[in-house]
Structure 1
């Protein structure tokens, strides 16, 4: 005698399945966060070893500026195909390729003995790390509904901030205890471990799980056309005004972030007189504040959405507000003689500059069609890392010409305001009303 499932048993099964999905997807987010921590430790190794490496290899300030930007140029350019490749080949494969690639490069950097060798290693690191955030965004898109997505995207972005906060004390400890070469090698091995865990644990949601993810919480999802030929191409994004305004906005915000990431330790040593060991702890303070900034941006955005605000508007408010506050704090930093107040402004500036970060990524998922989410996110990240590439070079030249950090922070403040204007005024929801989705 066959037994048919009743609505009650189906509902119970659905509830159990969704509980399992919740546990699984948060495990994946945790894994991406840990990978993000290691990812940013890799990026920070050169800035932490800045003075030590420059002295050992007899590098000038301009050469160090070029090295500190060598990661960002290829990273920015590689973001363009990275997003497309993630949309085409999937998160699991591309994330694995990225993690293994950046880890091998990090270990290899330990053997560099010349400016050219270091430069090539940083270029390869930038290429290898380019799929990371777009992959995190794509995974969040698949495992979370639009209504929920700002929180996991914010949490994914805290990985970078945790890495930034850990980098000064942890990498300084490794630098002082084992030397700069072992510092690179140890971080690289950690990346290989997380890559192995990812490969054996991550998977995309099954069709029935996908339905539960969106239907369980009443997600008003725009579905992709069944006719694959009707999908907009990757190049169509470049014909959209929003894409270019997002590139400009990301450039302005990321520029300032990378002034911190690449030159803050040296600023604290040379302009504020901190020792190398003390700099490791003091430099961690702004980055610790950055963790709170990223989470605040996601929480505020979600609160606005829960209150009925349109998704795009809810993302733009933290982006614009954070960028303006950061500009106000950063611009006068070098003119403040009181060390305590100086560090406080540095902390406020970085905290505020991180408020937009998660919202920037989530904004890409709100504006793009489902099959173009990683692509638009990566193109936007390309713009951001053009700013990241310019920041260390411009800082190196400003220091070479003026001998002070005054114009370094003034320029950072101006670019933050340009970023706020681009996102706040120029980026708009240009889709037809019938295709709008309120998250």
Structure 2
């Protein structure tokens, strides 16, 4: 098959995998939160733990998993990961109380970051540096589409259609497991690249130590900690907040869908501009500030003004994450041997915030309903502040730079 055609087929499979394994099921938890909490008798803080719980295991597995991707290759990770997330994802539908649901969510969170990391590894292998931002933008666009579909379909359409939140999560789990089949059959490494050209002999511990010594990776991780944690909190609490101030359930779910729809529209323009003008850091500064200000607007607004905050934060959500993850592979000292480990390192630090930010923010609801958004806004501003110290370079134009990201599959 033509190499150019194959890379797009491979990227399409990555997009579909991220949608069905992570984006759609994760957003389903948010819009199904009221139904789940009523069925299992959960408090708002407990739902915050469930929503952010996946980030706890991700703290550990993101780091080790990233190094494992560099060691054994993305294909094997995708095959096993789709099976594991499918079984665990379906298992949430059999939870009987807060403890059982939380345990399953924690275990599920061990696999999803590794799968996401593998997708970016694939794009790095097959796409040249000057097109890498666009390729990662397409991956993020698929994620945004998945978030949109999950928020729009799960509670308002699928739950009443197939018998409640349990069956919805079981359905998503089955679809995730089935995706392991195409990954068994597809080629994931370009011709001419071998283990000898990638030098993957170093141990996982050595890889982690190498990445941990890179100041730039720590700074990128802190940016992700702040902005990513703020967004995670917003996504989990927004439907509950809107319903608590009197919005109709369908309108509240539609607001979350609008958040993801605006993100979907702006992902590719943001990614394209960062590639075209080599202005990744400046784009991150602007989009990060927009996300933080959007959360602030939601916090202090009532009525129609809330929509302004939703659109402001939503339009840059996935575009911001796309550019930030692209900057990882372009950082000094991160080449073919360390891209998976470095991405895993950043996701691990971000996982701490994804776990802590939702319940901490939700606990502030007792002050006033918009208080959690103020907390997440401050957290996002802190992340943007760390961004000013990140060192960047313009995207390379040498097509052969894709060899930097090769691995053994």
Residues 93 and 59 from structure 1, CA distance in 2 versus in 1: closer, same or farther, beyond 3 angstroms? same
- Distance (whole Å) between structure 1 residues aligned to residue 185 and residue 340 of structure 2: 23
SS at match of 2:292: helix
Contact 2:63 2:208 in 1 (8 A): no
Q: CA deviation at 1:224?
A: 6.9
- Distance (whole Å) between structure 2 residues aligned to residue 127 and residue 227 of structure 1: 24
SS at match of 1:369: coil
Q: CA deviation at 1:228?
A: 5.9
- Distance (whole Å) between structure 2 residues aligned to residue 27 and residue 418 of structure 1: 39
**Structure 2 counterpart of 1:189:** 174
- Distance (whole Å) between structure 2 residues aligned to residue 82 and residue 181 of structure 1: 29
Choose between structure 1 and 2 for higher RCO, CA contacts under 8 A separated by at least 6 residues: 2
Contact 1:290 1:354 in 2 (8 A): yes
Q: Does 1:106 align with 2:89?
A: yes
Q: CA deviation at 1:230?
A: 12
Contact 1:103 1:192 in 2 (8 A): yes
**Structure 2 counterpart of 1:132:** 115
Q: CA deviation at 1:69?
A: 1.7
**Structure 2 counterpart of 1:318:** 283
Q: Does 1:23 align with 2:1?
A: no
CA RMSD, aligned part only? 2.3
Q: CA deviation at 1:135?
A: 0.4
**Structure 2 counterpart of 1:428:** 391
* Deviation by residue 1:208-261 (Cα, 9 ceiling, x = unmatched): 7x9xxxxxxxxxxxx978796799732121122112111111011101221232
Which stretch shows the higher mean deviation, 82-91 or 296-305? Answer: 296-305
Unpaired runs of 5+ residues, structure 1, are: 1-16, 211-222, 306-313, 431-435
- Distance (whole Å) between structure 2 residues aligned to residue 202 and residue 278 of structure 1: 44
- Distance (whole Å) between structure 1 residues aligned to residue 257 and residue 315 of structure 2: 12
**Structure 2 counterpart of 1:279:** 252
Residues 226 and 75 from structure 1, CA distance in 2 versus in 1: closer, same or farther, beyond 3 angstroms? closer
**Structure 2 counterpart of 1:79:** 62
Contact 1:76 1:130 in 2 (8 A): no
- For the pair shown, the structure with the greater C-alpha radius of gyration is 1
- Distance (whole Å) between structure 1 residues aligned to residue 96 and residue 200 of structure 2: 54
- Distance (whole Å) between structure 2 residues aligned to residue 255 and residue 226 of structure 1: 35
Residues 227 and 46 from structure 1, CA distance in 2 versus in 1: closer, same or farther, beyond 3 angstroms? closer
Q: CA deviation at 1:161?
A: 0.9
TM-score, normalisation: structure 1: 0.84
**Structure 2 counterpart of 1:347:** 311
**Structure 2 counterpart of 1:330:** 295
Residues 349 and 93 from structure 1, CA distance in 2 versus in 1: closer, same or farther, beyond 3 angstroms? same
Q: CA deviation at 1:370?
A: 1.8
Contact 1:268 1:283 in 2 (8 A): no
- Distance (whole Å) between structure 2 residues aligned to residue 229 and residue 393 of structure 1: 39
SS at match of 1:103: helix
**Structure 2 counterpart of 1:34:** 16
What does 1:371-382 correspond to in 2, within 5 Å? 371-382=337-348
Q: Does 1:58 align with 2:23?
A: no
Q: CA deviation at 1:280?
A: 2.6
Match of 1:385 among 324, 327, 351: 351
- Distance (whole Å) between structure 2 residues aligned to residue 269 and residue 286 of structure 1: 16
Q: CA deviation at 1:408?
A: 1.6
**Structure 1 counterpart of 2:160:** 176
Q: CA deviation at 1:77?
A: 2.2
Q: CA deviation at 1:86?
A: 0.4
What does 1:257-276 correspond to in 2, within 5 Å? 257-271=231-245, 273-276=246-249
- Distance (whole Å) between structure 1 residues aligned to residue 239 and residue 96 of structure 2: 22
- Distance (whole Å) between structure 2 residues aligned to residue 429 and residue 54 of structure 1: 44
**Structure 2 counterpart of 1:5:** none
- Distance (whole Å) between structure 2 residues aligned to residue 252 and residue 105 of structure 1: 28
SS at match of 2:230: helix
Contact 1:44 1:167 in 2 (8 A): yes
State the number of aligned residues: 390
Q: CA deviation at 1:182?
A: 0.2
SS at match of 1:164: helix
Residues 229 and 74 from structure 1, CA distance in 2 versus in 1: closer, same or farther, beyond 3 angstroms? closer
TM-score, normalisation: structure 2: 0.89
- Distance (whole Å) between structure 1 residues aligned to residue 384 and residue 281 of structure 2: 9
